[in-house]
Chains A and B, each alone.
Chain A
Amino acid sequence: MKKILLLILFLASTVFADIKWHGYDEGIALGKKDTTKIVMVMLEHKGCSSCAYMEGVVFPDKNVQKVINKDFIAVDIDTENDFIPDGMSYIGTPTFYFITADEKVLFKLQGAYHIKDFLGILEKVKAKR
């Protein structure tokens, strides 16, 4: 069991690099440069099994990666170590905030989702733009 998990984590960490994750300030700065993109802020922390699902299953998916790299700027916030921006309340992790570069919240998403559903949500968010 442990071996399988390690394998998954290893695989996850290698493919995970396919999405570029930024810090909050860096993400906002990038968003101001390219205003067609939406900033996707993910609040997560270590030892959160639902976050591990997103990182291990959803984000390594080629389709998810394609959509995110094209239309989103991914920001990762570790709730235990990173500064949490004002107004980003959450009851648990993962919680996603889709915001514009001027920090207007387009959509708040709580919890982990399967690949298909997550892709659907990303499309909806894009339509809100």
Chain B
Amino acid sequence: MKRSRAVLAICTFFFLAGCLQSQVIDDISLIQTVSFDKAEGNKLRYTVFYPFFVEQGKESEIGMEHRSIISETPEEARSLLNTRSQKPLRYGQLRVVLFGREVAEEGVEQYVKSFYRNPRIGNRVFLSAAEGSAGKALRFKEGVKERIGMYFSDLIEHNMDFENIPETNMHLFLFDLYSDGKDAFLPLVKREDNELKLIGLGLFDFDKMVGTLDMDQSFIFKLLLRGSDKGTSQFAIPKEGGRGYVVIQNIFTDVSYDLITKDPVPEFNIHLKMKGEITDHTGEFNLEKEKDIKKIETVVQDQIKTVSKNMIQQFKEKEIDPLGFGEKYRSRTRNWKQKEWKETIYPEMKVNVDVNLEILQSGAIE
């Protein structure tokens, strides 16, 4: 009795395991990058990039293929693409989604939602916008082409981790997109001389791209957004008979927002406490002298202050709030109304920026 039951159990497991269609990794194509562009009518040109492994010939040789199709929704596009691909296409390893400028300006919500809906796609996928056509930005000649899948996501990742791009991924984008007190942004890329290049950030009003920041603004934007311990930027320092340049690497920055008054208009004080290192300069400065360091500090402080103020002014004119003043205001008020905030309070809001830069080191030589 006992034995027969055990046999029955084992058989059940055995036979039931055969009920599923298995998907062997060698027999599917994993899409790494997807790009969206406008096509004729209301349709989209949809391009996918996936690696393929050469079956014969040199071992561990990897190629990159792309296919593009015109369709209305991403999922339909995938199924249409499957009619033309050697192996079934799957989204499991998707790394980057790139929206062409026209698509980004018309609104990306439905596409991002389609990726969010799909449980096969991770939430750490990078979304990005392209200056110009997205599909063309990624179509490279032999040599570069092979690496574009990992290359693109690594490019965004290391710039986010060590340089001037603020932290971003699909989850954060969706958070900002749907938040009633903050607007979203995405890294912006451009193709230049057969190279893919990050050129800054695209700013969104709900799901439509309405403005951009360049790399230097992005450096300061990153500091203002959450504080950071990364990023490098060059500043021009006026000097007798011209200007000198210093490169400052951010070591640690702390940012705090104080809402000092709510009536009649809200007024924010932003304190930016920054510790930096001079990694390079054009030679006019004596870094041993307290006076020169002080001077650099003051000038750079003022520059950061001006850029920040201009940037915030620019946000207000475009009626976007990527720094999340709304969120901060919401957490301090009991009668929060998004509409009222966006239409009357935000454009009137006052912001003071106060920068405190401390230069800690200047490298290994005098």
| Chains A and B form a bound pair | no
